[in-house]
Amino acid sequence: MKRPSAIWIGPLLMLARSVSGIAAIVVILTEWQNFARTISIDLNGQSEQGGVAADIALWIFVGVYAAGQLFYIALAGFVFLGQSWARNVAMAVATLSILFAFGNYLLNGAAITFKTTLLGLTLDILILLTLSSAPAREFARGRKLIRVTGI
């Protein structure tokens, strides 16, 4: 079965989404002190602004976020290979990201700007539309049928 354009474009959009996440990590690493100063941690009833605890918290955040980006890159590869489960997980992640941006706007009044969430939100919507298309669905299901029946 020939790979449809949606299966080419979807993983490319997913990679673009990961590149934007990696760019965010680079910004955090280059502006470490500015980010660390914004973190306030309450230990034993004493609030600490910045400091070692903030550095540890920021390292944990960056590590988890980087692992998430690596997972998303691997997921893009599985989508490209026609794995139906990967396509479903990618659509679920895009949906959750869209809902998170909407909830943040609705509850906190967070502006959706190019500097904050517009690029990621746009890519998530495009990923969702691309991977939910009929050709992408048929390709992933067709690959599953070939694997199960051996045809």
Q: List, as own/partner pairs, every contact residues 98-105 make where C-beta atoms lie below 8 angstroms and the sequence separation is at least 24, other chains included.
A: 98/124, 98/125, 98/128
Confidence category of residue 115, pLDDT binned at 50, 70, 90: low
Residue 79 predicted with pLDDT over 80: yes
Q: Would you mind telling me the total number of residues written for the chain in this entry?
A: 151
Helix (H, G, I), strand (E, B) or coil at 43: strand
Listed by start position, the domains of the chain span: 5-145
Q: What is the pLDDT of residues 122-143, one digit of tens each?
A: 999 999 999 999 999 998 887 6
State the pLDDT at residue 61. Answer: 94
* Phi, psi (rounded to 5 degrees) for 46: -110, 120
**Is pTM, for the whole model, over 0.85?**
no
Phi-psi group of 143: left, alpha or beta (phi > 0 → left; psi -120 to 50 → alpha; rest → beta):
alpha
